[in-house]
């Protein structure tokens, strides 16, 4: 019986539920015996010249082994500068120093590293480090930064880190349009907030660098550290133990993390570091942070003629992955719509704030929020129902593969189908009727209804690096699956066992899944961009197919039959000659015999049967969906309550609906949180105002309703599983639906747009000032 599409419970859970799993800070490996504790001293000022760093008192404190400043890292002959994220694209002049020595550019930048025998001693001594700052004026707002009146890197001459012009045709783009709407919207900066902050433990052992780290991409970390320390990748071992969430902020190696091997080597002892939440809120990369100008033009019949999106990305103080997010935004700018003309230009600027990188969606939520806002504004301008306007412009279900004006090739989709399904489940017409009734009655609690459509890109861009898998059949008939995917909550161990079981019939409990250790899995890319099932899963699937084929040939030898006549009965997990099911060879018998070395027909050699490969897809996949949000707005206080959120999210063929729904739930919550609650805020001097979980409005269970999920499966032709990514969909679709719903509730007040988060104050002001 097929296990595909069934709700297999997670094998990972018992260890998590009993506290037996080990996160990085929990590790007590013998390799880490006697580890020193590192505590980073971080800048408390957003922009300043450092005039003096006095570490003498700290260095003399009890338990302190060393205190390092920029003077040490700059003078070190065994440490090259921290490399820029993408050499060639980001000028070296914008490289982040290991430790700030002359200028600090954001609150949270490292100014010293204290190393001590205990965590407490390191923390205490950090308080004794005296840094003299000569404050400089800070620039916090990316729009202001783009004016280049105040420069973060005067030698660079501009705050622009990256700008790629794709062409701009001015007013001509909207020629022939009866109506043109022009509006600037903000996609606010968010804190990623995996529940486990960053953590790392490092040691040098037998000439090799061994790293335990809370990361989404152990092989990427291995390669990056090998590059920094002039090692071969084989000389570095990176282990990702249990990882408490990532959401994009644990893909790369940050400067503070990258420095730990140097400290460990200098001192000849293992070192460990676990950031506090307060530290994490200013030093873990943030997400989003775009200012988007939308211009949309078309006819009064609702047909859009042209759309222009101009993206200004806040990259933070040191441009890294965040500077490249606008390219993802650009790729997905037209969304689900067949706009005849689309232009999108992008630019990333530096500000005196924490650097920005990926956060669940990474550039795509911004594209969706922009185009969905644009359509709502256009609908309001021509006085048409926003759903009607969307229908008139959707890409038709028979138009795939569909090449967009920004160069994406959408694999497959049924956008109208998703919209219909979501509207029907929500009861759209009834909701509009209730809204009318409440408006007519002048009720205090007014209803708002928001609809969004989205399409996003996963496992992209095209020509991605794929993912590695190796499947080994042991002599006892059990199987080991080695995967380059590295889970941090996604349930790969369960899903990959399902895949291997499906093809072999071997019971899932006899299938071990090995991941997150670069010594045990030689290659890999990791888990990000909603890539794992479609690349990592397809790799496991394809490698297992190869193992089955090899095993069939071995079984033919053992059965003294022609390989073409031998079949695998997965229900019995055994091979037999077609038509003669009574004589079988089990997986254990085949495993014991081993592989055949030469051409078919030669004797088995006894080597284990296995297959290793990297699966690559010819194209990215483009999951899509429709969300309907229903909010109640208290017209006296401005308080918004999300009453319902109905989502139809298509991720192609579903392997485990339980896990897919869990991914959708998590994304929806984060999407709602962006619309209503969460925002990283700074004051005008660059002081963070949301630097802990008491001040940052991290969404809780009390602010959310139960989610209403509508199923839809449109398999992709791009991979053998028919699977697309599902990790980020919820966060992409929910935000504009909820934002739109709040604006919709305020329509009688003349409101057509409000930036997020839609706090009571912002909503109340909108009602009272328009």
- Residues that bind other proteins in the complex, under the rule CB under 8 A: 9-10, 12-23, 25-26, 28, 120, 193-197, 242-245, 247, 276-278, 488-491, 658-659, 661-662, 665-670, 692-694, 698, 700-702, 704, 706-707, 730
HSE value, Cβ hemisphere, 13 Å, CA-based, for 600: 12
Give 187 or 490: the residue with its C-beta nearer to other proteins.
490
Task: Compute the CA torsion angle 714, 715, 717, 720 (nearest 10 deg).
Answer: 180
351 Cβ neighbours under 8 A, 6+ residues apart: 139, 140, 141, 142, 145, 152, 159, 314, 315, 316, 317
Q: What CA–CA distance (Å, rounded) separates 131 from 43?
A: 9
CA 354, 358, 360, 365 torsion-angle sign = positive
Give 566 or 668: the residue with its C-beta nearer to other proteins.
668
b vs e for 659-673, b when ≥16 Cβ sit within 10 Å of the residue's Cβ?
A: bbbbbbbbbbbbbbb
Give 142 or 489: the residue with its C-beta nearer to other proteins.
489
Give 227 or 278: the residue with its C-beta nearer to other proteins.
278
Angle made by CA atoms 185, 294, 355, in degrees to the nearest 5: 50
Minimum separation from the CB atom of position 666 to other proteins (A): 5
Minimum separation from the CB atom of position 7 to other proteins (A): 8
Q: What CA–CA distance (Å, rounded) separates 626 from 631?
A: 17
Pairing of strands 341-350, 271-274: unpaired
Minimum separation from the CB atom of position 276 to other proteins (A): 5
Give 12 or 595: the residue with its C-beta nearer to other proteins.
12
Minimum separation from the CB atom of position 24 to other proteins (A): 11
Give 8 or 346: the residue with its C-beta nearer to other proteins.
8
Give 538 or 690: the residue with its C-beta nearer to other proteins.
690
Task: Compute the CA torsion angle 418, 424, 430, 431 (nearest 10 deg).
Answer: -40
Name which of 655, 672, 637, 644 is nearest 726 in CA terms: 655
Burial of residue 91 (number of CB atoms within 10 Å: 0-12, 13-18, 19+): middle
Minimum separation from the CB atom of position 518 to other proteins (A): 21
SS (H, E, C) 463-486: CCCCEEEEEEECCCCCEEEEECCC
Is residue 213 within 8 A of residue 240, CB to CB? The reply is: yes
CA 358, 362, 363, 369 torsion-angle sign = negative
Minimum separation from the CB atom of position 629 to other proteins (A): 14
Minimum separation from the CB atom of position 456 to other proteins (A): 18
Give 181 or 669: the residue with its C-beta nearer to other proteins.
669
Minimum separation from the CB atom of position 632 to other proteins (A): 15
Q: What CA–CA distance (Å, rounded) separates 289 from 755?
A: 12
Q: What CA–CA distance (Å, rounded) separates 367 from 477?
A: 49
Give 216 or 435: the residue with its C-beta nearer to other proteins.
216
Minimum separation from the CB atom of position 192 to other proteins (A): 8
CA 320, 323, 328, 331 torsion-angle sign = negative
Minimum separation from the CB atom of position 272 to other proteins (A): 12
Q: What CA–CA distance (Å, rounded) separates 18 from 24?
A: 17
Give 250 or 531: the residue with its C-beta nearer to other proteins.
250
């Amino acid at each position: 019986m097929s296990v595909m599409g069934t709700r297999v419970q997670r094998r990972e859970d018992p260890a998590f539920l009993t506290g037996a799993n080990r996160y990085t800070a929990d590790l007590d490996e013998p390799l880490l015996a006697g580890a020193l504790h590192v505590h980073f001293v971080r800048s408390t000022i957003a922009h300043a010249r450092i005039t003096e760093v006095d570490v003498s008192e700290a260095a003399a404190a009890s338990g302190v082994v060393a205190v390092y400043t920029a003077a040490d890292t700059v003078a070190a002959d065994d440490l090259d500068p921290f490399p820029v994220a993408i050499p060639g694209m980001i000028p070296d002049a914008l490289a982040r120093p290991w430790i700030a020595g002359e200028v600090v550019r954001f609150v949270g930048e490292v100014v010293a590293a204290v190393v001590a025998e205990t965590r407490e001693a390191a923390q205490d001594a950090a308080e004794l480090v005296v840094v003299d700052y000569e404050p400089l004026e800070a620039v916090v707002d990316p729009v202001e930064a783009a004016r280049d009146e105040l420069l973060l890197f005067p030698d660079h001459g501009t705050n622009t880190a990256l700008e790629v012009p794709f062409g701009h045709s001015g007013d001509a783009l909207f020629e022939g349009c009866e109506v043109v709407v022009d509006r600037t919207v903000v996609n606010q900066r968010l804190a990623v907030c995996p529940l486990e902050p960053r953590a790392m433990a490092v040691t040098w052992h037998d000439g090799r660098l061994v790293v335990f780290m809370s990361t989404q991409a152990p092989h990427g970390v291995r390669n990056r550290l090998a590059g920094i320390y002039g090692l071969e990748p084989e000389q570095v071992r990176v282990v990702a133990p249990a990882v408490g969430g990532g959401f994009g902020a644990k893909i790369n190696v940050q400067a503070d993390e990258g420095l730990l091997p140097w400290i460990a080597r200098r001192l000849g002892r293992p070192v460990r570091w676990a950031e506090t939440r307060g530290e994490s809120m200013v030093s873990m990369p943030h997400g989003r942070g775009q200012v988007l100008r939308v211009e949309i033009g078309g006819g009064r019949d609702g047909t859009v003629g042209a759309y222009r999106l101009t993206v200004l990305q806040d990259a933070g103080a040191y441009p890294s992955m965040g500077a490249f997010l606008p390219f993802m935004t650009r790729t997905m700018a037209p969304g689900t719509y067949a706009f005849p003309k689309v232009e999108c230009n992008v630019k990333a600027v530096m500000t005196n704030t924490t650097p920005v990188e990926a956060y669940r969606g990474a550039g795509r939520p911004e594209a969706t929020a922009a185009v969905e806002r644009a359509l709502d504004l256009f609908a309001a301008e021509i006085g048409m129902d926003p759903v009607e306007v969307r229908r008139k412009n959707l890409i038709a279900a028979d138009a795939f593969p569909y090449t967009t004006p920004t160069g994406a090739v959408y694999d497959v989709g049924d956008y109208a189908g998703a919209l219909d399904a979501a509207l029907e489940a929500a009861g759209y017409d009834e909701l509009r009727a209730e809204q009318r009734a409440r408006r007519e009655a002048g009720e205090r609690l007014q209803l708002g209804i928001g609809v969004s459509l989205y399409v996003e890109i996963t496992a992209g861009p095209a020509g991605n690096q794929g993912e590695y898998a190796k499947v080994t059949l042991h002599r006892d008939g059990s199987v080991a699956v080695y995967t380059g995917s590295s889970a941090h909550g996604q349930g790969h161990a369960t899903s990959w066992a399902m895949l291997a079981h499906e093809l072999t019939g071997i019971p899932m409990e006899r299938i071990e899944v090995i991941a997150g250790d670069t010594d045990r899995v030689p290659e890999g890319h990791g888990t990000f961009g909603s890539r794992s099932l479609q690349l990592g899963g397809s790799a496991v699937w394809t490698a297992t197919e190869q193992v089955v084929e090899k095993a069939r040939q071995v079984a033919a030898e053992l059965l003294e039959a022609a390989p073409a006549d031998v079949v695998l009965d997965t229900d019995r997990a055994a091979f037999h000659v077609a038509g003669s099911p009574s004589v079988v060879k089990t997986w254990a018998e085949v495993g014991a015999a081993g592989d055949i070395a030469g051409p078919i027909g030669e004797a088995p050699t006894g080597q284990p049967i296995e297959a290793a490969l990297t699966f690559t897809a010819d194209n990215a996949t483009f999951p899509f969906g429709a969300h309907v949000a229903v909010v109640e707005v208290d017209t006296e206080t401005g308080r918004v309550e999300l009453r319902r959120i109905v989502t139809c999210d298509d991720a192609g063929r579903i392997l485990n609906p339980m896990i897919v729904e869990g991914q959708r739930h998590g994304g929806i919550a984060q999407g709602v949180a962006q619309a209503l609650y969460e925002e990283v805020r700074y004051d005008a001097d660059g002081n963070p105002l949301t630097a802990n979980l008491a001040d940052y409005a991290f969404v809780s269970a009390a602010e959310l309703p139960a989610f209403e999920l509508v199923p839809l499966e449109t398999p992709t032709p791009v991979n053998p599983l028919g699977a697309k990514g599902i990790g980020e969909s919820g966060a992409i679709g929910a935000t504009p639906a909820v934002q739109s719903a709040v604006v919709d509730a305020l329509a009688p007040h003349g409101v057509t747009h409000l930036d997020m988060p839609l706090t009571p104050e912002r909503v109340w002001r909108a009602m009272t000032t328009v």
